[in-house]
A = this chain, B = another copy of it.
């Protein structure tokens, strides 16, 4: 029997484990955390992402049998056991690292809160204070999710949409623009999602010409991570 062969090959003691490893043999590439965009050697632009949601998803994917490669911005979290982690700082670094790893993956999950803009010029020395107001010229960063989904169309690409308003509408527009197979949308703002241990999301999955929408109530991020990974495993 096939089951027997697999069991002996993988040294799995409890056959129940096998049925709970729906991502065995799959490689999941994830981005997580914020990015830091340098203004000068000491100052930078960043955002309130803690990386908790992305790390919880990395851990869930790992537990469901996937090989997990995590490209992470600066966070106060340890890499989950067995996960291959690559640490980066800026959006440009995250873009380069992620694209260099994408051909190894079956599933790409972009949870990172990547800076859309970075200072057009990074000052070599700390900018001296003056009494004048000033203007910081910002340049558009490369779009990691767009580039991965367009350059690697065989990947099952999953985006996240953190929105302060018009949640589902904005998320669906993003899904189409970035050619995604699935998007996970959540509200952000004061006391919502970032830096918190719970989250409440809407999942939209591409289903031919239609979209499926799945509402998941507020729950712990690690529990939510398994729910999201289950939807991915069922649709990838």
Interface residues of A (CB under 8 A from B): 39, 41-49, 76, 113, 115-117, 120, 125-127, 129, 131-140, 162-165, 188-190, 194
Contacts and interface: CB of A to CB of B under 8 A. Distances in A.
Contacts of A126: 162-164, 188-189
A71 B77 CA distance: 26
23 contacts: A39-B45, A41-B164, A41-B188, A41-B189, A41-B190, A42-B164, A43-B46, A43-B47, A44-B46, A44-B47, A44-B48, A45-B45, A46-B46, A120-B133, A125-B164, A125-B165, A126-B162, A126-B163, A126-B189, A129-B140, A133-B139, A135-B136, A136-B138
Contacts of A45: 39, 43-45
Nearest to A130: B140
A134 B42 CA distance: 22
This chain: how many copies in the complex?
2
A72 to B, nearest CB: 17
Contacts of A120: 133
Nearest to A126: B164
A18 to B, nearest CB: 41
A42 B162 CA distance: 9
A164 B170 CA distance: 43
**Centre residue among A39, A129, A140, A164 by max chain B CB count within 10 A:** A164
A129 to B, nearest CB: 4
Contacts of A139: 133
Contacts of A188: 41-42, 126
A189 B116 CA distance: 25
Q: Which 3 A-B pairs have the closest CB atoms?
A: A116-B129, A136-B136, A41-B189
A159 B159 CA distance: 46
A202 B48 CA distance: 35
Given A42-B194, A126-B162, A133-B137, 12 more contacts: A42-B48, A42-B188, A43-B115, A44-B45, A44-B47, A76-B76, A126-B163, A126-B164, A131-B140, A133-B138, A133-B139, A135-B135
